[in-house]
Amino acid sequence: MDFVLFFLTAAIALAGAIAMLVARNAIHSALFLLLNFGAIAVLFLLLQSPFLFTIQLSIYAGAIMVLFLFVVMLLGAEQVEAAQDKLPWQQPLALVMGAGLLVIAVITAVRGGSNDAPPGGEAAEAFGDPASLGELLFTEYLLPFQITGIILLVAVIGVVVLNQQRTQAQSEETPGERPSSSVQP
């Protein structure tokens, strides 16, 4: 059963990746990438890593994809332009390096039995599951956890501050068109 499921998801992941590369429309590319992310999330689940599964879905498929789509739409860069390639040597180089990476991956997969325990002993039973991770965050890593929260707060303040200033500056430049009261927070 697992085996069938694996091949199905792997095929979907591969199809998504290839389709992403060949799609001419950037939005389509992004959506195919989403398909690929989803399939990989399922692969994580098959490897019994529920935490990676959720992270993959919420961070990659959720946050990063939305960011991608926003950028593509805001820039209006849906269509690939037929402009001349400014770095012609890039494509062959990328092909060679990609092939090299593939060879390394295949060699590693063939040589190292993937069923062996990782060096340094067997991983703990609860390794990488959300519960033990959460426990670590609230015990050993309590301070970093809290500081991360403050860093995110500062980042949010920054976005608000910098944007607010821009609207104020614009309203100063065009006082007639935009009453300054309307841009007050």
Task: List residues binding other proteins (CB under 8 A).
Answer: 134-135, 138-144, 147-148, 150-151, 153-155, 157-158, 160-162, 164-166, 169
The β-bridge partners of 174 are: none
3-state secondary structure of 60: helix
Q: Which lies closer to other proteins via its Cβ, residue 99 or residue 136?
A: 136
Q: Which lies closer to other proteins via its Cβ, residue 102 or residue 147?
A: 147
d(CA 16, CA 38): 10
d(CA 163, CA 150): 20
- Nearest distance from C-beta of residue 132 to other proteins, angstroms: 10
- Nearest distance from C-beta of residue 122 to other proteins, angstroms: 16
3-state secondary structure of 80: coil
- Nearest distance from C-beta of residue 30 to other proteins, angstroms: 23
H helices within 112-141, ranges in order?
130-138
- Nearest distance from C-beta of residue 184 to other proteins, angstroms: 8
Residue 27 near residue 33 (C-beta atoms within 8 A): no
3-state secondary structure of 31: helix
Q: Which lies closer to other proteins via its Cβ, residue 98 or residue 134?
A: 134
Chain center to CA of 22 = 20
- Nearest distance from C-beta of residue 94 to other proteins, angstroms: 22
Q: Which lies closer to other proteins via its Cβ, residue 115 or residue 139?
A: 139
Residue 31 near residue 78 (C-beta atoms within 8 A): no
Q: Which lies closer to other proteins via its Cβ, residue 27 or residue 132?
A: 132
